Amino acid sequence: MATAVFAGLVINRQSTASPPAPGPYQEEPAQKPAASSPFGPTVQNKSAPPGSAPKGMVWIPGGEFSMGSTIETEALCGLPGVTGDALPVHRVYVDAFWMDATPVTNEQFEKFVKATSYITIAERTPTKEEFPTAPPENLVAGSTVFTPTPGPVPLDNFYQWWRYEKGANWRHPEGPASNLTGREKYPVVHIGYDDAVGYAKWARKRLPTEAEFEFAARGGQAGLIYAWGDEFRPGGKFMANTFQGTFPVKDTGEDGFAGIAPVGQFLPNPYGLYDITGNVWEWCGDWYRPDYYAQLASAGVVARNPQGPATPFDPVEPTEKKRVHRGGSFLCTDQYCTRYMVGTRGKGEVTTGSNHLGFRCVQSVGPRETGADKTKP
């Protein structure tokens, strides 16, 4: 195993249903946080959308909201309540924008690749210069693929269920023997940050900021644990594609899908966003730092359209340059990683894709995006 090539792996990973129609924009979702909550109400902008929605996108009105999570039982890597990177809850304002109703699908990404001949990071052969300590035989293009273990294992080493699979990339999600036949409507995966930015520029869109993602995911509501409420399964109903069974041995697929699902198989949030929780992690534009919310809160004012910290830093892997992931994936479970909780944060090294990491795009209101990536130094 080329650990250098493997470095930066994030613990984060497949019908042909028609793409869902964007859901309706709901004027005033009713929900107010309790008086003792650190969450204030969400105050949505009142401005009507400027015309009809771009194809496949929904209107996010923007406004002021409380961002973050106080959930002490949240788990990352099987360690409950040890992260705290979504604290403190702080006030944020974001302008209105358009957002893709679903993660970018394989058929959408294929149009981009056909138009531009783009080659994703996972399809490029790693070089000796990039990974000087890796043995030459390991300098082979590929990506990271989740592999169930034969039996229960201590959840303390993700190399037990993640492998670097030579030849795995967006066209071959589980490796060279797999392909996209029948997976046209599945989220594209094995996407590095620059791959997502490349697609977004071509589509004259951009990646969401982390604040935009959370404002959109909360759907006008305030202080909820999940994008849909405070119960994981309201009325017994699964609201997102996550993992059931024994992690990482067997996903029993009680929610209808053992593994990745086509987009749009679960109810949308009040803004009409599908898969805003679960299925695949999604790239945001912001660099990751665990103390960024503290930085914003210390300013004592509402953070307006925050773009993320100027530089990345993750004390867990201080040499890795990471950006924010949001939403959790089909591998998230309360046994290991509960990052399907709406205010919680994910992170990933920028060149590292996997078979549960994808993205969706947004578009500012007004002149069409030029593709300028304001968050990139």
Residues of this chain that interact with Ca ion (CB under 5 A) are 241, 255, 257, 330
Could you tell me the end-to-end alpha-carbon distance of the chain, in angstroms, rounded to an integer? 32
CB nearer Ca ion, residue 123 or residue 255: 255
**Considering only CA atoms, which of 32, 59, 65 is closest in space to residue 47?**
59
CB nearer Ca ion, residue 241 or residue 363: 241
Q: Least distance in Å: CB of 267 to Ca ion?
A: 15
Q: Least distance in Å: CB of 244 to Ca ion?
A: 6
CB nearer Ca ion, residue 74 or residue 255: 255
Q: Least distance in Å: CB of 170 to Ca ion?
A: 21
Q: Least distance in Å: CB of 86 to Ca ion?
A: 24
Q: Least distance in Å: CB of 261 to Ca ion?
A: 7
Q: Least distance in Å: CB of 240 to Ca ion?
A: 8
Provide the 3-class DSSP secondary structure of residue 98: strand
CB nearer Ca ion, residue 322 or residue 356: 356
356-365 b/e (C-beta count within 10 Å ≥ 16 → b): bbbbbbbbee
CA distances from 333 to 9, 226, 295, 336 (A): 19, 13, 30, 6
CB nearer Ca ion, residue 120 or residue 355: 355
CA angle 12, 37, 222 (to 5 degrees): 60
Asked if residue 37 lies in contact with residue 189, where contact means CB atoms within 8 angstroms, the answer is no
Per the structure block, which two tokens stand in for 90?
């702080």
Judge residue 297's burial from the number of C-beta atoms within 10 Å of its C-beta, 0-12 exposed, 13-18 middle, 19 or more buried. middle
CB nearer Ca ion, residue 166 or residue 250: 250
